[in-house]
Amino acid sequence: MPINEHLLTARFVTSHAKVTIVQCYAPRDDHEDTEKDLVYQQLQDLLDKVPRHDILLVMGDLNAQVGEDRSGFEEVLGPHGYGKRTDNSDRLVQFYTMNNMEVGSTLFKHKDIHKIMWISNDHKTQTQIDHIAIGPRWRTPCLQDVRVYHGADICSDHHLAIAKFKVKLRWKKKKDSKPQWFDTSKLNDAVTGAQFQLFLSNRFSALADPVPGSLDRWDQLKDAMSAAGEEILGHKKSLNETWISDSTWELIAERKALHQRRFSPSDGEDAYQEYIKKDKAVKSSAQRDKQEWLDRQAEEAQEAASCNDMRMVYQIAKHICGAVKTESGSVEVRTSWQVLPIDTSDFSEDEIRKAISSLKNNKSPGNDGITVEMLKAGGESVITWMCSLCNQVWNSGVAPEDW
């Protein structure tokens, strides 16, 4: 969440830990002291609002070299700093000391090339002005390493700094993979619905009567529904379509090759200018791809709206714009007790037909993958089969394990 032109924050809430990351861009040494004091005061006000149990990281382009000398600040600075301390460095170190934080980039031993985070275009100035700081409570169990990598294609004169964390997690039961659902929207088409009914009718007519007392009838129903879904309906397609085109990926690859050349002393300046042009071409191509993808989504939404498929319209809008929140009103529930007569006779096909027709559409299926729409579209053959199955379960008192 952006705070201002110098600060932004993000909080990640998971079942294992809560992490708050504060990104800061501090003024350079040649800026006015009043501007520097204002930024650090805003940063302090932001840290005061962070919950104490969160894993707190303060990182960014802080425009300050903490240097190799750690005298008097051993609890804040590690033994592996780089460069000489400046005016901005004194402010930064005092800020870390006040908040009891440690500078991760000074805690781990690396070559100088893996400490330098900014190199000027003329390759004469090399500094360590980007930092990642963490509170001491989490430094020992979590922070494993901080170092610089020089191969990242990010269109910046700063190099990529990566911190490795290791958080001890609670054991959590592994969830089953999400099942694939059949595309029941095709059943709205009369031809597809007729094909679905004919497939099930032929499948049931070819089956032999199950052994009395067994629950083979349920397994046969599941197999028939699954086969009809695979043959006639197919599975739903994910809305998470990759919108970046192959041509854009090719431009990204060309930009990455130029990124490797721009730090070469022989052709660094020429490669840098080519890199800037290629970066603009990548961004233009990506914007064009995104607009074409949005146009395709709009056409699909328009087509769904013309077919009165408002559910698909809502799904596309939610995929593009995010979740839509609505205010929930209060619901009053009134209950009353009444003695009702219970009919213990067998179920009739008419009762099964009414029960199936009263079910609501667009509900998630169980492990068997059979949806309400598939039961409704199955026709009389499904009703007859379900009636026999329900009567068998009612009379024997034994239900399938899936139920």
For residue 169, pLDDT beyond 80: no
By percentage, how much of the chain surpasses pLDDT 90?
Answer: 2
**CB 26, CB 6: distance < 8 Å:** yes
Distance CA 102, CA 134 (A): 6
**Torsion angles phi and psi, residue 367, rounded to 5:** -65, -20
Name residue 131's beta-bridge partners.
Answer: 60
Nearest to 134 by CA among 40, 5, 47: 47
Mapping DSSP to helix (H, G, I), strand (E, B) and coil, where does residue 163 land?
strand
| Alpha-carbon distances of 330 from 323, 325, 333, 335, rounded to whole Å | 22, 16, 10, 16
| Alpha-carbon distances of 149 from 16, 146, 286, rounded to whole Å | 29, 10, 25
Which pair of structure tokens corresponds to residue 391? 């009567």
Q: Which residue has the tokens 């958080």?
A: 167
Distance CA 316, CA 313 (A): 5
- Residue-level pLDDT at 324: 45
pLDDT band at 386 (very low <50, low <70, confident <90, very high): confident
Q: Which of 119-128, 177-186, 212-221, 353-362 has the highest mean pLDDT?
A: 353-362
For residue 63, pLDDT beyond 70: yes
**CB 285, CB 308: distance < 8 Å:** no
**Taking CA 120 as the corner, what is the angle to CA 130 and CA 266, rounded to the nearest 5 degrees?**
135
- Residue-level pLDDT at 341: 55
Nearest to 3 by CA among 56, 51, 47, 61: 47
Mapping DSSP to helix (H, G, I), strand (E, B) and coil, where does residue 146 land?
strand
Distance CA 275, CA 122 (A): 16
pLDDT band at 281 (very low <50, low <70, confident <90, very high): very high
Q: Which residue has the tokens 């300046």?
A: 269
Q: The dihedral of CA 191, 192, 197, 201: what is its sign?
A: positive
Rg of the chain in Å (alpha carbons): 32
pLDDT band at 329 (very low <50, low <70, confident <90, very high): very low
The domain spans of the chain are 7-165, 179-324+343-403
Q: What pTM, to 2 d.p., does this model score?
A: 0.45
For residue 186, pLDDT beyond 60: yes
pLDDT by residue (tens digit) across 334-346? Answer: 333 344 455 668 8
For residue 114, pLDDT beyond 80: yes
Question: Taking residues 71-82, what's their average pLDDT?
Answer: 81
Distance CA 28, CA 267 (A): 29
Q: Which residue has the tokens 């408002």?
A: 310
pLDDT by residue (tens digit) across 119-165? Answer: 776 667 778 788 888 876 777 677 888 888 887 777 777 888 888 88
Distance CA 17, CA 138 (A): 12
* DSSP H stretches of helix in 307-379: 310-321, 349-357, 372-377
**CB 84, CB 67: distance < 8 Å:** yes
Distance CA 302, CA 314 (A): 11
Distance CA 76, CA 90 (A): 12
**CB 63, CB 28: distance < 8 Å:** yes
**CB 66, CB 85: distance < 8 Å:** yes
For residue 213, pLDDT beyond 70: no
pLDDT band at 15 (very low <50, low <70, confident <90, very high): confident
Name residue 163's beta-bridge partners.
Answer: 146
CATH number of 7-165: 3.60.10.10
**Taking CA 170 as the corner, what is the angle to CA 100 and CA 54, rounded to the nearest 5 degrees?**
25
- Residue-level pLDDT at 170: 63
Distance CA 107, CA 115 (A): 11
- Residue-level pLDDT at 285: 92
**Torsion angles phi and psi, residue 69, rounded to 5:** -80, 115
Across 203-331, the runs of DSSP E, i.e. the strands, are none
